[in-house]
Amino acid sequence: MIRQCLAAALVAAGVSACGSITRGTSETITFTSAPSGAAMTTSTNRSCPTTPCSLDIPRSEEFDATFTLPGYRSQTVPVRTKLVGSGAAGFAGNVLAGGVIGMGVDAYNGAAFDHVPNPVIVTMVPEALPSAARTRGPRRGRPGV
């Protein structure tokens, strides 16, 4: 009887935090801009000197990614977490195996989540309009012509 209880406890402990084991607690996120070469900084103090680039970020971390490039307006993209795909399956595996502690671990460390969007892609907008568009004003002439 004691052996059976010990075996059951070991199995439950072994499958707790299934998402942490199968998916890991961090995720690689790719940052891309058009044109390339923008600097990217997150609201959590991570950065890339130029795009395209990739960073390994904890799955539980939500942040804003700000892209800057001389001559262009800065662009900010919110990156959030979402319970998806195999993360949900790993999380559910904790329930089926009786790993209530594992469910808590996966929810806390983010193993059951993915970042959205991933990749993070922005199109930079010029600060000023091209000269032809600047010089073209409203058309003057007779009304209704």
Render pLDDT for 12-48 as a digit per residue (tens, 0 to 9): 444 444 544 456 889 999 999 999 999 999 999 999 9
pTM of the model: 0.64
- Contact criterion met (CB below 8 Å) for 120 and 55: no
- Contact criterion met (CB below 8 Å) for 61 and 110: yes
E strand or H helix at 42, and its extent? strand 39-42
Of residues 54, 56, 58, the one with CA closest to residue 119 = 54
Q: CA 46, CA 88: separation in Å to the nearest integer?
A: 27
Beta strand 120-123 with 26-34: parallel, antiparallel or unpaired?
parallel
Q: CA 103, CA 12: separation in Å to the nearest integer?
A: 12
pLDDT in tens, 60-83: 899 999 999 999 999 999 999 998
Question: What whole-number percentage of the chain has pLDDT above 70?
Answer: 54
Residue 143, phi then psi, degrees to nearest 5: -60, 140
Cα dihedral sign, 75-120-78-63: negative
